[in-house]
Amino acid sequence: MHTVRRITMVLGAALLIAVLIPCRPAAAATLYDQLGQKPGITKVLVDMVGFIVDDGRIAHYFAHADVPHLEGELVDQVCYVTGGPCTYTGKSMAAAHQGMHITEADFNALVEDLEKSMNKNEVPIPLQNRLIGLLAPLLGPVTYK
Ligand code: HEM
């Protein structure tokens, strides 16, 4: 009798779990997902670099840049900071910009080029703000080095 009751309870619990699991809310999408994963992020960053090299305020910094390499590093970095399955293996921000004497105005110009690219790629404003919010703390490591 005891055994029968225990089996009934176990079966009941299993049934309850089987019913509840599909009701569990899906895991929240990361910013990486919302930006369209690697293809979406790549489009935004390649277009951003396109705007930068055409931007009279900061283009001179990139006169001798290895653009494909830079694009690759940027994609890995943004993929990583937005919660995507990437690892950034490039230089630290301080090391990458050492000796460039980048100013706050230069930094803001780059952010404007990023905004221009996100608008072109129809990234919704709340997502734009989240990405800019993740990059803003890099102002210190990137500037006045
Ligand atoms: C949020 C701001 C920024 C981020 C996330 C960023 C990110 C990066 C990354 C990932 C690299 C490549 C590092 C490597 O090769 O290992 C890089 C290089 C570089 N960055 Fe930035 N950067 C930022 C701001 C700026 C600004 C404001 C300027 C100038 C106006 C600038 C100019 C450069 C230049 C000239 C290089 C070297 C490119 C080359 O020679 O291939 N960066 N940056």
Q: Give the integer Cα–Cα distance in Å for 123 and 48.
A: 13
pTM exceeding 0.85: yes
pLDDT digits (tens, 9 = 90+) for 49-82: 999 999 999 999 999 999 999 999 999 999 999 9
The pLDDT value recorded for residue 27 is: 78
Cα 26 to middle of ligand 1, angstroms = 36
Domain extent listing, the chain: 29-142
In CATH terms, is domain 29-142 a member of 2.160.10.10? no
Our answer on whether the CB atom of 112 is closer than 6 Å to any ligand 1 atom is: no
Q: Give the integer Cα–Cα distance in Å for 115 and 67.
A: 19
Cα 97 to middle of ligand 1, angstroms = 6
Our answer on whether the CB atom of 96 is closer than 6 Å to any ligand 1 atom is: yes
Angle at 43 between CA 145 and CA 50, to 5 degrees: 55
